[in-house]
Each structure stands twice: as structure tokens, then as C-alpha cells.
């Protein structure tokens, strides 16, 4: 397959078949906002308690969360405070127990929406606008800047950027902290120190692991083989995101990767920093992206340079999953992050799988790291939380001695029997099936009903002195 030239002409690309429409979904609807059904799936559906145990009531400027009463007496508020919600414009958030329920002084769903879509308020929004302007100027000038000077510019910027309070680095869990704090309070109000819940991952796994590769240029295409050999030798597979109209490559490479058990994704269209520069530009390019998604048999998308607008992506792209939002981005092209280490549902039942680990380009090219300490710390944090580790490595940069670093982190992951090593398509399929399943209580016995019943397990959420712990069994 040939890349388009700068005039946009390519006989092969022009004959690609039209994209087929996605099948209807229970959560599918029009509009760019996160739907109430998707938000419910990201709170009640995250906890997945036995049917009828959890209820949420939203009022003006408040949200009440109630659990069916347990055998114990209502307790004092668990020793877990609400995290700071200042980044999304909620000041002095409060939480109290009253009438057997936990009440927070804001719309919980709206707070979640702001984190998912990075709808930051106040100073954070001003910084974001300034970063957006700087990004546009950089990408306008980039074609004329030699690669070594681009890297020098990025490194100097990284040294001058102060580490903000939000997002926390290397991974931010503010949204997860919020969700756990509210559930802790609801459990205390109901007199429960433990509740059964549908396990977060199949087959009692403690956390998920996804290996991801963004192929940014011809050098990356040439290095695909070296990187995949390391993974396949370890019994692992990954997703390879290609840029359709930036560099030439033979389409047989995609077929070969898929036949070997890997997954293919689409990584923008040109990788020129302009995909989200205007609504019109995105709509026009989304049509071409959908053509490549269909032609390649790809189910997922990843925005180049993590420059993103999740509402546009969810509205226009014919995908099952997206992986454009970082959990925490401090020195990248678009600072911010969705502040969660868990997948979440977007409109049309699209599953967002956040990038939870810092990218190799950030660590090795920009910060000049020569170790995997940051990755190992991220693995520890994600594992402790029970989230999904998304490790993004570019074959363009993962060469020479860095391959040994990659082998080392893969060795750590393969040794962990409680890690579910999966392709993102498998993760999105699981997360959707889990959201459509439920626990039925029959006395002292639990039964799982729905599409996840064959590989799901009943786990638990338990209060302890430090907060709330989720167990896969």
C-alpha cells in the first residue's frame, strides 16, 4: 500500500471500500456529549453489585448514593476524603452521611464527565488554551525543523515545565479516588464493610495489560520485526497502530501481523497535528479514517501525539474502542488526562482504554531516561488499583539498547500470573460484556447472568483503615 503524496492522490487508496456502519448498541445514540446511560455504566456499572443493591439519585447540586442496608449498624464516615476536584471547577466538595445514604455536594455524573472529556475549568483551562496555541504554531513550523532540533526543543521545554499538582505524574487516579470515596461512604451509611461485585477482569485476574505500538514513520515500519520477535518469544501479542497516509508500507505487513495474533489499529491520517484543528477538518478526515478502519479490519483508533477530543471521536469514528486519552500527560502536546486507570464507556458503546503508562518517547527521547523505573512504578500502581496497564512503545525509537529495557519490562509482566495480557479489542469486548451482565443473589449463593457469565467471577469491595480495596475473588 502506498501513502498519499502531498497532493492527496493515490490510486490504491482511492479504491478502498467504503466503511461499513457499526451495529446498533444499547448505549448508542447521536450527539457528542457523554450520554446518561454511559455515565451510569461508568459508576453503577463499574461497581456491578448484586441487582437492586445500589441506587443513585441526582438532584440540583447534589448526588445521593444508597446501598441496601446490611447486617451492621451505620458507621461513621470511612477515613477517606474526597480528592481535589478543582481541575474540573468543583471547589470545596463535601460528602456526608444522612438517612442511610452518602450525599455529595455536586453532580457526581457531571464531575465524571468533565474528567473523561478533560473539561477543565479555571487556571487549568487557561494553560490548556495556551498549550493549544503553542501546539498549532509548533506543527506549522515542524516540517522545516530538522529532527534533531525538534527533539532539542522538546527537551528544553520539558526541563522548563513545572510538575503541576494535577495531573499527578507518572499516573493520575483522581477520578478513581472519587469513585472509591463515594462508594466507601455509601457502604458506611448502609452498615456494610464488604459488598460482592462482579470481578473487574475475566478469570479472576487482578489487572489488565495491553501492549501498544504506534508506528510513526518509515523507520518504525523497518523495526516492526525486531520488536514483534521479542514479544512473540515471550508468548505476548500487541496492537500496531499505523498512519495510513504518512509513509509507504506494504499491506501484507498488516495481514502478517494479524495472522500471527496481533491487532491492527489506525493512528490518525497524516500525523501532522491538525486532525482536531477544526471541526470541519476532523469531519473530513474522519471519513477517510473510517475507510481505512474498514479496509484493514481494524476496530480501534489512537490519536497521534495524544492530541484528542473524545466527544468528536465518539461521534464520528466507526470504532469499537479508542485509546487516545492518557491518564496523565504533563509534558506532551496536550497536557491533561482523564485521571483514571480503568476503561470507560463513551457514547455508542465505544470503550475508551486510557494510556496509563508514560510513552517510551517521553521517557527516553524527551527526558533521557535509561531505565524502566517509571514503568515499574506504574505497573505497581495499576496492579494495586486493579486497572489496565497500557504500555505504549514506538518501533521508531525502541532500538539498540532500549530493546533490552523492553525485554526487562516484558519479563516482569509475563512472570505475573495475576495479569490478564490481552489485546485492546479483547479488553473492549470484555468491558462491554461486563457492563451488560449482572449478579443475581439467591440466598447465600450468587449467579452471574449475561454475556460475561462464562469468564466472570464474583469479587468484592471491602472497607479497611486506608480506604476501599477491590478483590477479584
Q: Where are the alpha helices (DSSP H) in 120-170?
A: 123-141, 147-160
Which pLDDT belongs to residue 22?
A: 41
Cell of 238: 500487541
Q: Which residues neighbour 371 within 8 Å (Cβ) at sequence distance 6 or greater?
A: 405
Identify each DSSP E strand in 192-349 by its residue range. 194-198, 207-215, 239-242, 263-266, 300-301, 321-322, 344-345
What is the count of structural domains for the chain? 1
Which pLDDT belongs to residue 14?
A: 30
Residue 111: how many CA atoms within 13 Å on its side-chain side?
Answer: 29
Neighbours of 473 (CB within 10 A): 9
143 domain residue, yes or no: no
Residue 160: how many CA atoms within 13 Å on its side-chain side?
Answer: 6
40 domain residue, yes or no: no
253 domain residue, yes or no: yes
Packed helices 224-233 and 402-415: angle between N→C axes, nearest 10 degrees = 30
Cell of 453: 457469565
Cell of 105: 455536594
190 domain residue, yes or no: no
Which pLDDT belongs to residue 426?
A: 98
pTM (predicted TM-score): 0.87
Which pLDDT belongs to residue 331?
A: 87
311 domain residue, yes or no: yes
Distance CA(71)–CA(61), nearest Å, equals 31
Cell of 241: 497502530
DSSP assignment of 330-393 equals SSSSS-B----SS-EE-GGGPEE--B-S--HIIIIIIS---S-HHHHHHHHHHHHHT-EEEEE-
Cell of 217: 514513520
Q: Which residues neighbour 137 within 8 Å (Cβ) at sequence distance 6 or greater?
A: none
Which pLDDT belongs to residue 80?
A: 64
- Torsions phi, psi for 134 (to 5 deg): -60, -40
Residue 84: how many CA atoms within 13 Å on its side-chain side?
Answer: 8
Q: What is the number of residues in the chain? A: 473
Burial of 63 (C-beta count, 10 Å sphere; 0-12/13-18/19+): buried
Closest CA to 207 of 419, 38, 17: 419
Distance CA(470)–CA(194), nearest Å, equals 10
Q: How far is CA 250 from CA 218, 221, 253, 266, 312, in A?
A: 11, 10, 6, 15, 30
Distance CA(303)–CA(207), nearest Å, equals 24
- Side by side, which strands form the sheet with 467-471? 194-198, 458-464, 467-471
Cell of 303: 490519536
Which pLDDT belongs to residue 72?
A: 76
Domain that holds residue 338: 11-26+202-430
Report which DSSP code applies to 361. I
263 domain residue, yes or no: yes
Percent helix, strand and coil across the chain, each to the nearest 5: 40, 20, 45
396 domain residue, yes or no: yes
Q: What is the pLDDT along the chain (473 residues), one digit of tens a residue?
A: 333 333 333 333 333 444 344 443 443 444 445 667 889 899 999 999 999 999 999 998 999 999 999 887 776 654 568 999 999 999 999 999 999 999 999 999 999 999 999 999 854 544 455 555 554 554 455 555 565 544 455 545 545 454 568 999 999 999 999 999 999 999 999 999 999 999 999 999 999 999 999 999 999 999 999 999 999 999 999 999 999 999 999 999 999 999 999 999 999 999 999 999 999 999 999 999 999 999 999 999 999 999 999 999 999 999 999 999 999 999 889 999 999 999 999 999 999 999 999 999 999 999 999 999 999 999 999 999 999 999 999 999 988 889 999 999 999 999 999 999 999 999 999 999 999 999 999 988 999 999 999 999 999 999 887 789 999 98
CB-CB contact of 236 with 421 (8 Å): yes
Q: Which residues neighbour 454 within 8 Å (Cβ) at sequence distance 6 or greater?
A: none
Cell of 58: 441526582
Which pLDDT belongs to residue 26?
A: 40
Distance CA(439)–CA(449), nearest Å, equals 6
234 domain residue, yes or no: yes
Residue 410 is part of a domain; what is its CATH number?
A: 3.20.20.370
Distance CA(180)–CA(47), nearest Å, equals 10
The label of the residue with cell 474526597 reads: 82
Distance CA(345)–CA(212), nearest Å, equals 20
CA angle, 308 then 310 then 314, to 5° = 130
CB-CB contact of 137 with 275 (8 Å): no
Phi-psi region of 344 (alpha: psi -120 to 50; beta: other; left: phi over 0): beta
The label of the residue with cell 522545516 reads: 144
Amino acid at each position: 500500500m502506498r501513502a498519499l503524496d502531498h497532493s492527496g492522490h493515490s490510486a490504491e487508496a482511492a479504491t478502498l471500500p467504503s466503511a461499513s456502519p457499526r451495529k446498533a448498541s444499547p448505549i448508542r445514540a447521536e450527539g457528542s456529549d457523554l450520554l446518561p446511560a454511559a455515565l451510569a455504566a461508568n459508576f453503577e456499572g463499574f461497581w456491578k453489585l448484586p441487582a437492586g443493591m445500589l441506587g443513585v439519585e441526582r438532584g440540583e447540586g447534589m448526588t445521593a448514593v444508597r446501598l441496601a442496608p446490611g447486617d451492621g449498624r451505620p458507621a461513621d464516615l470511612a477515613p477517606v476524603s474526597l480528592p481535589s476536584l478543582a481541575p474540573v471547577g468543583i471547589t470545596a466538595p463535601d460528602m456526608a452521611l444522612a438517612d442511610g445514604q452518602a450525599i455529595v455536594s455536586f453532580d457526581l455524573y457531571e464531575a465524571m464527565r468533565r474528567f473523561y472529556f478533560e473539561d477543565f475549568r479555571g487556571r487549568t483551562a487557561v494553560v490548556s488554551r495556551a498549550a493549544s496555541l503553542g501546539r498549532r504554531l509548533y506543527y506549522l513550523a515542524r516540517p522545516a525543523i530538522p529532527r534533531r532540533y525538534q527533539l532539542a526543543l522538546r527537551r528544553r521545554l520539558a526541563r522548563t515545565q513545572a510538575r503541576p499538582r494535577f495531573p499527578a505524574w507518572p499516573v493520575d487516579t483522581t477520578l478513581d479516588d472519587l469513585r472509591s470515596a463515594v462508594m466507601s461512604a455509601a457502604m458506611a451509611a448502609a452498615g456494610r464493610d464488604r459488598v460482592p461485585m462482579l470481578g473487574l477482569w475475566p478469570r479472576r485476574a487482578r489487572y489488565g495489560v495491553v501492549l501498544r505500538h504506534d508506528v510513526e514513520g518509515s523507520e518504525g515500519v523497518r523495526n516492526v520485526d525486531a520488536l514483534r520477535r521479542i514479544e512473540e518469544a515471550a508468548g505476548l501479542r500487541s496492537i500496531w497502530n499505523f498512519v495510513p497516509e504518512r509513509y509507504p508500507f506494504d499491506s501484507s505487513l498488516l495481514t502478517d501481523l494479524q495472522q500471527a495474533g496481533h491487532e491492527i489499529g489506525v493512528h490518525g491520517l497524516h500525523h501532522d497535528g491538525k486532525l482536531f484543528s477544526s471541526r470541519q477538518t476532523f469531519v473530513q478526515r474522519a471519513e477517510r479514517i473510517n475507510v481505512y478502519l474498514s479496509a484493514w479490519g481494524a476496530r480501534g483508533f489512537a490519536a497521534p501525539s495524544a492530541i484528542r477530543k473524545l466527544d468528536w471521536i465518539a461521534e464520528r469514528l466507526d470504532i469499537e474502542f479508542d485509546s487516545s486519552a492518557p491518564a496523565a500527560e504533563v509534558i506532551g502536546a496536550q497536557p491533561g488526562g482523564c485521571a483514571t486507570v480503568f476503561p470507560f464507556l463513551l457514547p455508542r458503546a465505544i470503550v475508551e482504554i486510557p494510556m496509563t503508562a508514560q510513552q517510551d518517547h517521553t521517557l527516553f527521547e524527551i527526558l533521557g531516561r535509561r531505565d524502566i523505573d517509571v514503568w515499574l512504578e506504574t505497573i505497581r500502581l495499576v496492579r494495586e488499583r486493579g486497572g489496565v496497564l497500557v504500555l505504549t512503545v514506538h518501533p521508531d525509537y525502541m532500538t539498540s539498547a532500549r530493546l533490552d529495557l523492553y525485554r526487562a519490562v516484558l519479563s516482569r509482566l509475563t512472570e505475573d500470573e495475576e495479569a490478564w495480557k490481552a489485546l485492546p479489542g479483547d479488553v473492549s469486548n470484555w468491558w462491554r460484556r461486563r457492563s451488560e451482565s449482572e449478579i443475581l443473589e439467591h440466598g447465600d449463593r450468587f449467579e452471574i447472568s449475561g454475556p460475561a457469565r462464562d469468564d466472570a467471577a464474583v469479587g468484592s469491595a471491602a472497607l479497611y483503615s486506608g480506604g476501599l480495596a477491590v478483590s477479584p475473588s
